[in-house]
Amino acid sequence: MNLTQVKQHDSTQWKAVATDARSHIETRLLIDGKFVDAIKGGRFVTSNPANGETLAEMSAGGVEDIDRAVAAARKAFYSGVWSRLAPRDRMDVLYRFADLVDENAEQLAVLETLDMGKPIADVINLDLPAVVATIRFMAECIDKIEGSVTNTDSSSMHMILREPLGVVGAISPWNYPLLMATWKIAPALAAGNTVVLKPAEQAPMSCLRLGELFLQAGGPPGVLNVVNGMGEIAGRALALHNDVAKLTFTGSTEVGKLILQYSGQSNMKRVALECGGKSPQIFMADLPDLDKAVAAAYNGIFANMGEVCSAGSRLLVERPIYNEFIERFIAEGEHAYKPGEPLDPATNMGPLVDRESQQRVLGMIETGKKEGATLHFGGTKPKGLDEGAYVNPTLFGDVNNSMTIARQEIFGPVASVIPFDGAEEAIHIANDTIYGLASGIWTRDINKAFALIKNIEAGVVWVNSYEDGDMTQPFGGYKQSGQARDKCMESVKSYTQCKSAWIRLAAE
Protein backbone atom coordinates (compact mmCIF):
# COMPACT_ATOMS: atom_id res chain seq x y z
CA MET A 1 0.00 0.00 0.00
CA ASN A 2 1.24 3.46 -0.86
CA LEU A 3 1.75 6.56 1.26
CA THR A 4 -1.63 8.08 0.47
CA GLN A 5 -3.51 4.88 1.26
CA VAL A 6 -1.78 4.17 4.57
CA LYS A 7 -2.66 7.59 5.91
CA GLN A 8 -6.19 6.22 6.38
CA HIS A 9 -5.08 3.29 8.61
CA ASP A 10 -6.26 3.24 12.21
CA SER A 11 -4.52 1.60 15.14
CA THR A 12 -6.20 -1.81 14.60
CA GLN A 13 -5.10 -1.90 10.98
CA TRP A 14 -1.53 -0.98 11.87
CA LYS A 15 -1.42 -3.71 14.49
CA ALA A 16 -2.63 -6.24 11.91
CA VAL A 17 0.00 -5.02 9.45
CA ALA A 18 2.63 -5.35 12.19
CA THR A 19 1.60 -8.92 13.01
CA ASP A 20 1.80 -9.84 9.36
CA ALA A 21 5.16 -8.09 8.88
CA ARG A 22 6.63 -9.85 11.91
CA SER A 23 5.89 -13.23 10.39
CA HIS A 24 8.28 -12.65 7.48
CA ILE A 25 11.06 -10.34 8.51
CA GLU A 26 14.11 -10.60 6.26
CA THR A 27 17.09 -11.18 8.53
CA ARG A 28 19.95 -11.94 6.12
CA LEU A 29 22.53 -9.70 4.48
CA LEU A 30 21.99 -8.30 0.99
CA ILE A 31 25.15 -8.89 -0.99
CA ASP A 32 25.56 -8.92 -4.78
CA GLY A 33 21.81 -8.93 -5.34
CA LYS A 34 21.10 -11.93 -3.08
CA PHE A 35 20.09 -12.43 0.52
CA VAL A 36 22.77 -14.50 2.27
CA ASP A 37 23.59 -15.53 5.81
CA ALA A 38 26.69 -14.22 7.50
CA ILE A 39 29.64 -16.47 6.62
CA LYS A 40 30.41 -17.31 10.23
CA GLY A 41 26.71 -17.51 11.11
CA GLY A 42 26.76 -14.56 13.54
CA ARG A 43 23.43 -13.21 14.74
CA PHE A 44 22.09 -10.44 16.93
CA VAL A 45 18.67 -9.78 18.37
CA THR A 46 16.59 -6.76 17.45
CA SER A 47 13.68 -5.94 19.72
CA ASN A 48 10.72 -3.60 19.93
CA PRO A 49 11.51 -0.76 22.37
CA ALA A 50 7.79 -0.17 22.99
CA ASN A 51 7.40 -3.52 24.78
CA GLY A 52 10.76 -5.28 24.86
CA GLU A 53 9.61 -8.13 22.59
CA THR A 54 12.17 -9.79 20.37
CA LEU A 55 11.41 -9.04 16.74
CA ALA A 56 14.06 -11.07 14.95
CA GLU A 57 17.52 -12.54 15.06
CA MET A 58 19.38 -10.69 12.38
CA SER A 59 22.50 -11.87 10.57
CA ALA A 60 25.51 -10.09 12.01
CA GLY A 61 28.00 -9.35 9.26
CA GLY A 62 31.65 -9.98 10.13
CA VAL A 63 34.87 -8.76 8.52
CA GLU A 64 34.58 -11.51 5.89
CA ASP A 65 31.05 -10.40 4.97
CA ILE A 66 32.20 -6.81 4.58
CA ASP A 67 34.99 -8.15 2.37
CA ARG A 68 32.62 -9.96 0.05
CA ALA A 69 30.17 -7.02 -0.03
CA VAL A 70 32.99 -4.63 -0.94
CA ALA A 71 34.25 -7.12 -3.55
CA ALA A 72 30.76 -7.29 -5.07
CA ALA A 73 30.47 -3.51 -5.08
CA ARG A 74 33.91 -3.17 -6.63
CA LYS A 75 33.13 -5.70 -9.33
CA ALA A 76 29.86 -3.93 -10.10
CA PHE A 77 31.62 -0.57 -10.21
CA TYR A 78 34.34 -1.65 -12.63
CA SER A 79 31.90 -3.56 -14.83
CA GLY A 80 30.39 -0.16 -15.68
CA VAL A 81 26.90 -1.56 -15.33
CA TRP A 82 26.03 1.42 -13.14
CA SER A 83 28.94 3.85 -13.27
CA ARG A 84 28.82 4.05 -17.07
CA LEU A 85 25.08 3.74 -17.47
CA ALA A 86 23.66 6.63 -19.49
CA PRO A 87 22.52 9.33 -17.06
CA ARG A 88 18.89 9.06 -18.21
CA ASP A 89 18.88 5.31 -17.56
CA ARG A 90 20.37 5.74 -14.11
CA MET A 91 17.75 8.40 -13.41
CA ASP A 92 14.99 6.02 -14.50
CA VAL A 93 16.15 3.39 -12.01
CA LEU A 94 16.22 5.91 -9.18
CA TYR A 95 12.79 7.28 -10.10
CA ARG A 96 11.40 3.72 -10.06
CA PHE A 97 13.15 3.19 -6.74
CA ALA A 98 11.41 6.29 -5.30
CA ASP A 99 8.06 5.08 -6.64
CA LEU A 100 8.59 1.66 -5.06
CA VAL A 101 9.36 3.23 -1.67
CA ASP A 102 6.06 5.08 -1.95
CA GLU A 103 4.17 1.96 -3.07
CA ASN A 104 5.64 -0.09 -0.22
CA ALA A 105 5.09 2.55 2.43
CA GLU A 106 2.95 0.30 4.60
CA GLN A 107 5.62 -2.35 5.08
CA LEU A 108 8.52 0.07 5.39
CA ALA A 109 6.67 2.17 7.95
CA VAL A 110 5.74 -0.73 10.16
CA LEU A 111 9.30 -2.12 10.15
CA GLU A 112 10.62 1.29 11.15
CA THR A 113 8.14 1.71 13.99
CA LEU A 114 8.58 -1.80 15.36
CA ASP A 115 12.35 -1.55 15.29
CA MET A 116 13.03 1.84 16.84
CA GLY A 117 9.75 2.98 18.38
CA LYS A 118 9.14 5.95 16.11
CA PRO A 119 5.45 6.92 16.00
CA ILE A 120 3.89 5.47 12.84
CA ALA A 121 2.33 8.88 12.12
CA ASP A 122 5.82 10.40 11.93
CA VAL A 123 7.08 7.68 9.60
CA ILE A 124 4.26 8.13 7.11
CA ASN A 125 3.95 11.91 7.34
CA LEU A 126 7.59 12.89 7.66
CA ASP A 127 10.23 10.19 7.21
CA LEU A 128 8.93 8.30 4.18
CA PRO A 129 7.89 11.37 2.17
CA ALA A 130 11.39 12.72 2.86
CA VAL A 131 12.96 9.44 1.70
CA VAL A 132 10.99 9.58 -1.55
CA ALA A 133 11.85 13.27 -2.03
CA THR A 134 15.54 12.57 -1.42
CA ILE A 135 15.74 9.82 -4.03
CA ARG A 136 13.83 11.92 -6.58
CA PHE A 137 15.98 14.98 -5.96
CA MET A 138 19.20 13.00 -6.30
CA ALA A 139 17.88 11.38 -9.49
CA GLU A 140 17.19 14.84 -10.89
CA CYS A 141 20.78 15.85 -10.16
CA ILE A 142 22.29 13.09 -12.30
CA ASP A 143 22.39 14.89 -15.63
CA LYS A 144 23.11 18.21 -13.94
CA ILE A 145 26.56 17.08 -12.79
CA GLU A 146 28.80 19.00 -15.14
CA GLY A 147 32.47 19.39 -15.74
CA SER A 148 33.93 22.49 -17.35
CA VAL A 149 36.31 23.77 -19.98
CA THR A 150 38.65 26.42 -18.65
CA ASN A 151 40.05 29.45 -20.40
CA THR A 152 43.49 28.50 -21.69
CA ASP A 153 45.81 29.71 -24.39
CA SER A 154 44.79 28.71 -27.89
CA SER A 155 47.27 25.83 -28.18
CA SER A 156 45.60 23.88 -25.38
CA MET A 157 42.23 22.63 -24.31
CA HIS A 158 41.63 22.03 -20.61
CA MET A 159 38.66 20.04 -19.41
CA ILE A 160 37.67 19.35 -15.84
CA LEU A 161 35.73 16.10 -15.64
CA ARG A 162 33.71 14.83 -12.71
CA GLU A 163 33.89 11.11 -12.13
CA PRO A 164 32.44 8.76 -9.52
CA LEU A 165 34.75 7.61 -6.74
CA GLY A 166 34.22 3.85 -6.74
CA VAL A 167 32.90 1.92 -3.75
CA VAL A 168 31.27 4.08 -1.09
CA GLY A 169 30.86 2.72 2.42
CA ALA A 170 27.89 4.19 4.28
CA ILE A 171 27.36 3.84 8.02
CA SER A 172 24.03 5.11 9.31
CA PRO A 173 22.34 5.72 12.69
CA TRP A 174 19.05 4.45 14.10
CA ASN A 175 17.16 7.68 14.77
CA TYR A 176 15.86 8.01 11.18
CA PRO A 177 16.97 4.61 9.87
CA LEU A 178 15.62 4.92 6.33
CA LEU A 179 16.07 8.65 5.90
CA MET A 180 19.66 8.87 7.17
CA ALA A 181 20.63 5.87 5.03
CA THR A 182 18.94 7.48 2.01
CA TRP A 183 20.74 10.79 2.55
CA LYS A 184 23.92 8.75 1.95
CA ILE A 185 23.05 6.13 -0.61
CA ALA A 186 20.91 8.25 -2.95
CA PRO A 187 23.59 10.86 -3.80
CA ALA A 188 26.33 8.20 -3.86
CA LEU A 189 24.32 6.12 -6.35
CA ALA A 190 23.26 9.17 -8.35
CA ALA A 191 26.92 10.03 -8.89
CA GLY A 192 27.56 6.54 -10.29
CA ASN A 193 29.23 4.89 -7.30
CA THR A 194 28.40 1.51 -5.84
CA VAL A 195 27.57 1.24 -2.15
CA VAL A 196 27.93 -0.97 0.90
CA LEU A 197 25.52 0.23 3.60
CA LYS A 198 25.97 -0.75 7.27
CA PRO A 199 22.79 0.29 9.13
CA ALA A 200 22.70 0.77 12.90
CA GLU A 201 22.26 -2.45 14.88
CA GLN A 202 19.41 -0.91 16.90
CA ALA A 203 17.24 -0.63 13.76
CA PRO A 204 18.46 -3.10 11.14
CA MET A 205 15.22 -4.19 9.46
CA SER A 206 13.96 -1.45 7.16
CA CYS A 207 17.19 -0.83 5.22
CA LEU A 208 17.23 -4.45 4.00
CA ARG A 209 13.85 -3.84 2.42
CA LEU A 210 15.18 -0.60 0.92
CA GLY A 211 18.01 -2.55 -0.71
CA GLU A 212 15.55 -5.08 -2.08
CA LEU A 213 13.40 -2.30 -3.58
CA PHE A 214 16.46 -0.89 -5.35
CA LEU A 215 16.94 -4.29 -7.02
CA GLN A 216 13.26 -4.41 -7.96
CA ALA A 217 13.64 -0.96 -9.50
CA GLY A 218 16.28 -2.36 -11.85
CA GLY A 219 19.37 -1.58 -9.79
CA PRO A 220 22.03 -4.09 -10.90
CA PRO A 221 23.25 -6.68 -8.36
CA GLY A 222 26.21 -5.52 -6.30
CA VAL A 223 25.47 -1.83 -6.79
CA LEU A 224 23.73 -1.48 -3.40
CA ASN A 225 24.67 -3.97 -0.70
CA VAL A 226 23.28 -3.91 2.84
CA VAL A 227 25.33 -5.55 5.59
CA ASN A 228 23.95 -5.42 9.11
CA GLY A 229 26.20 -6.02 12.07
CA MET A 230 27.87 -4.48 15.07
CA GLY A 231 29.53 -1.11 14.67
CA GLU A 232 32.84 -2.17 16.16
CA ILE A 233 33.01 -5.18 13.83
CA ALA A 234 31.17 -4.62 10.54
CA GLY A 235 31.28 -0.81 10.69
CA ARG A 236 34.95 -0.79 11.60
CA ALA A 237 35.81 -3.30 8.85
CA LEU A 238 34.03 -1.15 6.28
CA ALA A 239 35.76 2.02 7.45
CA LEU A 240 39.16 0.28 7.39
CA HIS A 241 38.66 -1.36 4.01
CA ASN A 242 41.32 -0.56 1.44
CA ASP A 243 38.89 -0.88 -1.48
CA VAL A 244 36.43 1.67 -0.12
CA ALA A 245 37.02 5.04 -1.75
CA LYS A 246 34.83 7.08 0.59
CA LEU A 247 33.24 6.43 3.94
CA THR A 248 30.13 8.46 4.64
CA PHE A 249 29.03 8.36 8.25
CA THR A 250 26.16 9.67 10.34
CA GLY A 251 26.32 9.02 14.06
CA SER A 252 27.99 10.17 17.23
CA THR A 253 30.97 12.49 17.36
CA GLU A 254 32.85 9.84 19.33
CA VAL A 255 32.55 7.26 16.53
CA GLY A 256 33.09 9.97 13.89
CA LYS A 257 36.56 10.52 15.35
CA LEU A 258 37.28 6.79 15.06
CA ILE A 259 36.22 6.88 11.41
CA LEU A 260 38.85 9.54 10.74
CA GLN A 261 41.46 7.33 12.38
CA TYR A 262 40.40 4.29 10.34
CA SER A 263 40.88 6.30 7.19
CA GLY A 264 44.43 7.21 8.21
CA GLN A 265 45.18 3.64 9.22
CA SER A 266 44.04 2.29 5.85
CA ASN A 267 43.91 3.93 2.44
CA MET A 268 43.27 7.61 3.29
CA LYS A 269 39.73 7.18 2.01
CA ARG A 270 37.61 10.29 1.91
CA VAL A 271 35.50 10.68 5.02
CA ALA A 272 32.19 12.52 5.32
CA LEU A 273 30.93 13.01 8.85
CA GLU A 274 27.49 14.03 10.14
CA CYS A 275 27.77 13.86 13.90
CA GLY A 276 26.18 15.06 17.11
CA GLY A 277 24.74 18.40 18.12
CA LYS A 278 23.72 20.61 21.01
CA SER A 279 21.86 23.16 18.99
CA PRO A 280 20.78 26.52 20.40
CA GLN A 281 17.56 28.32 19.66
CA ILE A 282 17.91 32.01 20.55
CA PHE A 283 14.72 33.80 21.54
CA MET A 284 15.27 37.57 21.56
CA ALA A 285 12.84 39.70 23.57
CA ASP A 286 11.60 41.33 20.35
CA LEU A 287 10.59 38.04 18.71
CA PRO A 288 7.57 38.41 16.41
CA ASP A 289 5.20 35.75 17.77
CA LEU A 290 5.64 34.11 21.18
CA ASP A 291 3.08 31.37 20.46
CA LYS A 292 4.95 30.24 17.35
CA ALA A 293 8.29 30.55 19.10
CA VAL A 294 7.23 28.43 22.09
CA ALA A 295 5.71 25.81 19.77
CA ALA A 296 8.98 25.69 17.81
CA ALA A 297 10.83 25.32 21.11
CA TYR A 298 8.93 22.26 22.31
CA ASN A 299 8.54 20.69 18.86
CA GLY A 300 12.26 21.23 18.28
CA ILE A 301 13.18 19.12 21.29
CA PHE A 302 10.26 16.71 21.82
CA ALA A 303 9.67 15.58 18.20
CA ASN A 304 11.12 12.12 17.47
CA MET A 305 11.56 11.72 21.26
CA GLY A 306 14.40 14.25 21.13
CA GLU A 307 16.46 11.67 19.22
CA VAL A 308 17.38 14.24 16.58
CA CYS A 309 20.90 15.42 15.79
CA SER A 310 19.63 18.95 15.16
CA ALA A 311 17.25 18.99 18.16
CA GLY A 312 17.00 22.48 19.65
CA SER A 313 18.17 21.23 23.03
CA ARG A 314 19.46 24.57 24.36
CA LEU A 315 16.76 27.23 24.48
CA LEU A 316 18.40 30.60 25.03
CA VAL A 317 15.78 33.11 26.18
CA GLU A 318 16.42 36.84 26.66
CA ARG A 319 15.70 37.81 30.23
CA PRO A 320 12.77 40.27 29.69
CA ILE A 321 10.63 37.43 28.25
CA TYR A 322 12.14 34.58 30.27
CA ASN A 323 9.30 34.12 32.82
CA GLU A 324 6.54 34.40 30.23
CA PHE A 325 8.39 31.98 27.94
CA ILE A 326 8.67 29.39 30.71
CA GLU A 327 4.99 29.83 31.68
CA ARG A 328 3.84 29.37 28.09
CA PHE A 329 6.16 26.41 27.59
CA ILE A 330 4.70 24.72 30.67
CA ALA A 331 1.10 25.57 29.68
CA GLU A 332 1.43 24.36 26.09
CA GLY A 333 4.44 22.09 25.98
CA GLU A 334 3.87 19.78 28.93
CA HIS A 335 0.98 17.93 27.29
CA ALA A 336 1.75 18.56 23.63
CA TYR A 337 3.57 15.22 23.42
CA LYS A 338 2.12 12.17 25.09
CA PRO A 339 4.09 8.94 25.21
CA GLY A 340 2.08 6.01 23.89
CA GLU A 341 1.87 3.00 21.59
CA PRO A 342 3.79 3.99 18.46
CA LEU A 343 1.55 1.91 16.17
CA ASP A 344 -1.41 4.12 17.09
CA PRO A 345 -1.55 6.93 14.51
CA ALA A 346 -2.74 9.29 17.27
CA THR A 347 0.54 8.83 19.19
CA ASN A 348 3.15 11.55 18.76
CA MET A 349 5.80 10.22 21.15
CA GLY A 350 7.12 6.68 21.25
CA PRO A 351 9.73 5.05 23.47
CA LEU A 352 13.43 5.78 23.24
CA VAL A 353 15.34 3.36 21.06
CA ASP A 354 16.29 0.99 23.89
CA ARG A 355 16.61 0.55 27.66
CA GLU A 356 20.20 1.76 27.58
CA SER A 357 19.08 5.09 26.11
CA GLN A 358 16.27 5.32 28.65
CA GLN A 359 18.74 4.82 31.53
CA ARG A 360 21.18 7.32 30.04
CA VAL A 361 18.52 10.01 29.59
CA LEU A 362 17.07 9.47 33.09
CA GLY A 363 20.62 9.65 34.44
CA MET A 364 21.19 12.99 32.68
CA ILE A 365 17.97 14.29 34.21
CA GLU A 366 19.24 13.35 37.68
CA THR A 367 22.49 15.16 36.91
CA GLY A 368 20.52 18.24 35.84
CA LYS A 369 18.66 18.26 39.15
CA LYS A 370 21.86 17.76 41.15
CA GLU A 371 23.66 20.56 39.34
CA GLY A 372 20.89 22.99 40.28
CA ALA A 373 18.63 23.33 37.21
CA THR A 374 14.91 23.81 37.95
CA LEU A 375 12.82 20.84 36.83
CA HIS A 376 9.49 22.30 35.62
CA PHE A 377 7.93 19.09 34.37
CA GLY A 378 8.73 15.51 33.35
CA GLY A 379 11.93 13.80 34.40
CA THR A 380 10.16 10.49 34.93
CA LYS A 381 9.00 7.35 33.15
CA PRO A 382 5.35 7.54 32.09
CA LYS A 383 2.94 5.44 34.14
CA GLY A 384 1.48 2.31 32.57
CA LEU A 385 4.21 2.01 29.94
CA ASP A 386 6.75 0.10 32.02
CA GLU A 387 7.37 -2.50 29.33
CA GLY A 388 8.84 0.11 27.01
CA ALA A 389 11.87 2.41 27.09
CA TYR A 390 9.76 5.55 27.60
CA VAL A 391 10.73 8.89 29.15
CA ASN A 392 8.28 11.75 29.70
CA PRO A 393 8.90 15.09 27.97
CA THR A 394 11.02 17.11 30.36
CA LEU A 395 11.64 20.82 30.87
CA PHE A 396 14.52 22.32 32.83
CA GLY A 397 14.76 26.06 33.52
CA ASP A 398 17.51 28.22 35.07
CA VAL A 399 20.10 26.20 33.20
CA ASN A 400 23.63 27.49 33.07
CA ASN A 401 25.63 26.68 29.94
CA SER A 402 28.35 25.05 32.03
CA MET A 403 25.97 22.39 33.41
CA THR A 404 26.28 18.86 32.04
CA ILE A 405 22.77 18.98 30.54
CA ALA A 406 23.80 22.04 28.51
CA ARG A 407 27.06 20.53 27.32
CA GLN A 408 26.39 16.90 26.50
CA GLU A 409 24.10 15.62 23.80
CA ILE A 410 21.25 13.98 25.73
CA PHE A 411 19.44 12.55 22.68
CA GLY A 412 16.15 12.43 24.51
CA PRO A 413 13.12 14.68 25.18
CA VAL A 414 14.88 17.04 27.58
CA ALA A 415 14.68 20.81 27.03
CA SER A 416 17.06 23.16 28.84
CA VAL A 417 16.19 26.86 29.05
CA ILE A 418 19.12 29.22 29.55
CA PRO A 419 18.51 32.93 30.29
CA PHE A 420 20.74 35.60 28.73
CA ASP A 421 21.15 39.37 28.44
CA GLY A 422 21.62 40.83 24.96
CA ALA A 423 22.73 39.45 21.59
CA GLU A 424 26.41 39.40 22.48
CA GLU A 425 25.89 37.06 25.40
CA ALA A 426 23.54 34.93 23.26
CA ILE A 427 26.27 34.47 20.65
CA HIS A 428 28.82 33.63 23.31
CA ILE A 429 26.58 30.95 24.89
CA ALA A 430 25.44 29.60 21.52
CA ASN A 431 29.05 29.08 20.39
CA ASP A 432 30.32 27.80 23.74
CA THR A 433 30.03 24.14 22.71
CA ILE A 434 32.10 21.60 20.80
CA TYR A 435 29.17 21.20 18.40
CA GLY A 436 27.90 23.37 15.56
CA LEU A 437 25.12 21.60 13.70
CA ALA A 438 22.01 23.78 13.75
CA SER A 439 20.64 26.91 15.39
CA GLY A 440 17.52 29.06 15.52
CA ILE A 441 17.10 32.81 15.90
CA TRP A 442 13.85 34.49 16.85
CA THR A 443 13.71 38.26 16.37
CA ARG A 444 11.75 40.83 14.37
CA ASP A 445 14.88 42.95 13.85
CA ILE A 446 16.55 42.14 10.52
CA ASN A 447 19.85 43.71 11.59
CA LYS A 448 19.98 41.66 14.75
CA ALA A 449 19.10 38.55 12.75
CA PHE A 450 21.97 39.17 10.31
CA ALA A 451 24.42 39.84 13.12
CA LEU A 452 23.44 36.54 14.73
CA ILE A 453 23.51 34.62 11.43
CA LYS A 454 27.05 35.85 10.79
CA ASN A 455 28.35 35.10 14.25
CA ILE A 456 26.80 31.74 15.02
CA GLU A 457 29.07 28.79 14.41
CA ALA A 458 26.59 26.31 12.96
CA GLY A 459 26.02 24.72 9.58
CA VAL A 460 22.32 25.58 9.60
CA VAL A 461 20.65 28.77 10.89
CA TRP A 462 16.89 29.08 10.93
CA VAL A 463 15.33 32.51 11.45
CA ASN A 464 11.84 32.68 12.96
CA SER A 465 11.37 28.95 12.30
CA TYR A 466 13.04 25.68 13.22
CA GLU A 467 13.65 22.43 11.30
CA ASP A 468 12.33 24.03 8.09
CA GLY A 469 13.77 23.38 4.67
CA ASP A 470 13.70 21.38 1.47
CA MET A 471 16.08 19.29 -0.58
CA THR A 472 18.08 22.29 -1.80
CA GLN A 473 19.29 22.98 1.73
CA PRO A 474 22.78 21.77 2.64
CA PHE A 475 22.52 19.95 5.95
CA GLY A 476 25.60 19.46 8.08
CA GLY A 477 27.74 20.86 10.80
CA TYR A 478 30.57 23.10 11.89
CA LYS A 479 33.14 22.03 14.49
CA GLN A 480 32.65 18.55 16.00
CA SER A 481 29.23 18.16 14.39
CA GLY A 482 31.11 17.09 11.27
CA GLN A 483 32.11 18.44 7.88
CA ALA A 484 29.77 16.78 5.38
CA ARG A 485 26.73 18.33 3.74
CA ASP A 486 23.78 16.06 3.09
CA LYS A 487 20.82 16.87 0.82
CA CYS A 488 21.48 19.50 -1.91
CA MET A 489 23.48 19.36 -5.14
CA GLU A 490 26.72 19.77 -3.16
CA SER A 491 26.07 16.38 -1.62
CA VAL A 492 26.00 14.64 -5.02
CA LYS A 493 29.20 16.38 -6.05
CA SER A 494 30.88 15.20 -2.86
CA TYR A 495 30.55 11.65 -4.21
CA THR A 496 32.55 12.60 -7.33
CA GLN A 497 36.17 13.48 -7.91
CA CYS A 498 37.51 15.90 -10.45
CA LYS A 499 39.96 15.01 -13.16
CA SER A 500 41.90 17.59 -15.09
CA ALA A 501 42.45 16.66 -18.75
CA TRP A 502 44.94 19.03 -20.41
CA ILE A 503 45.14 18.56 -24.17
CA ARG A 504 47.97 20.03 -26.20
CA LEU A 505 46.51 20.80 -29.63
CA ALA A 506 48.49 20.25 -32.80
CA ALA A 507 50.05 23.42 -34.14
CA GLU A 508 48.04 24.81 -37.07
Neighbours of 473 (CB within 10 A): 12
**Torsion from C-alpha of 28, 31, 36, 37, nearest 10 degrees:** -60
Candidates 56-64, 66-74, 215-223, 232-240: pick the segment binding ligand NAD (CB under 6 A). Answer: 232-240
- Which of residues 232, 327, 356, 386 is near ligand NAD by CB under 6 A? 232
Q: In 386-471, where does DSSP find H-type helix?
A: 404-407, 422-431, 446-455
Query: Of 118-126, 252-260, 382-390, 489-497, which segment contacts ligand NAD by CB under 6 A?
Result: 252-260
Q: How far is the CB of 304 from ligand NAD (least distance, A)?
A: 10
Please say if 488 is a catalytic residue.
Answer: no
309 noted as active-site residue? yes
Q: Which of 192, 276, 397, 440 binds ligand NAD (CB under 6 A)?
A: 276
Which of 106, 112, 274, 341 is labelled catalytic? 274
Residue from 274, 318, 341, 354 binding ligand NAD (CB under 6 A): 274
Report yes or no: 266 and 291 within 8 Å, Cβ to Cβ. Answer: no
C-beta closer to ligand NAD: residue 263 or 443: 263
Asked whether 86 and 151 are in contact (CB, 8 A), the reply is no
Nearer to ligand NAD, 2 or 367 (CB): 367
Shortest Cβ distance from residue 208 to ligand NAD (Å)?
Answer: 14
The amino acid occupying position 173 is P
Backbone angles phi, psi at 287, to 5 degrees: -60, 150
Q: In whole angstroms, how close is the CB of 255 to ligand NAD at the nearest point?
A: 3
Instruction: Pick from 137, 329, 411, 462 the residue near ligand NAD by CB under 6 A.
Output: 411
User: What x-and-dash track marks residues 177-216 binding ligand NAD by CB under 6 A?
Assistant: ---x-----------------x-xx---------------
Query: Count of CB atoms within 10 A of residue 113's CB?
Result: 29
Q: Which of 429, 468, 426 is nearest to 445 (CA)?
A: 426
| Of residues 102, 75, 45, 65, the one with CA closest to residue 226 | 65
Per-position x/- string for 453-492, each x denoting binding to ligand NAD as judged by CB under 6 A, each - no binding? ------------------------x---xx----------
Question: Which residues are CB-neighbours of 402 under 8 A, at least 6 positions away?
Answer: none
Considering only residues 63 to 102 of the shown chain, the ones binding ligand NAD according to CB under 6 A are none
State the Cα–Cα distance between residues 140 and 492, nearest whole angstrom.
Answer: 11
Work out the angle at residue 380's Cα, subtended by the Cα atoms of residues 376 and 385, and round it to the nearest 5 degrees: 135
Nearest of 193, 296, 172 to residue 243 by alpha carbon:
193
Total binding residues toward ligand NAD, as defined by CB under 6 A: 30
Shortest separation between residue 277's beta carbon and ligand NAD, angstroms:
5
Which position among 201, 309, 318, 409 bears the catalytic label?
309
Q: Which is nearer to ligand NAD, 397 or 482 (CB)?
A: 482
Pairing between strand 394-397 and 414-420?
Answer: parallel
Going from the C-alpha of 138 to that of each of 141, 142, 163, 195, 494, the distances in angstroms are 5, 7, 16, 15, 12
- Residues of span 306-335 touching ligand NAD by CB under 6 A: 309
Among residues 252, 404, 455, 465, which is the contact residue for ligand NAD, using CB under 6 A? Answer: 252
Q: Using CB under 6 A, list all residues that contact ligand NAD.
A: 171-175, 180, 198, 200-201, 231-232, 235-236, 239, 250-252, 255, 258, 274-277, 309, 409, 411, 437, 477, 481-482
Q: Could you list the active site residues? A: 274, 309
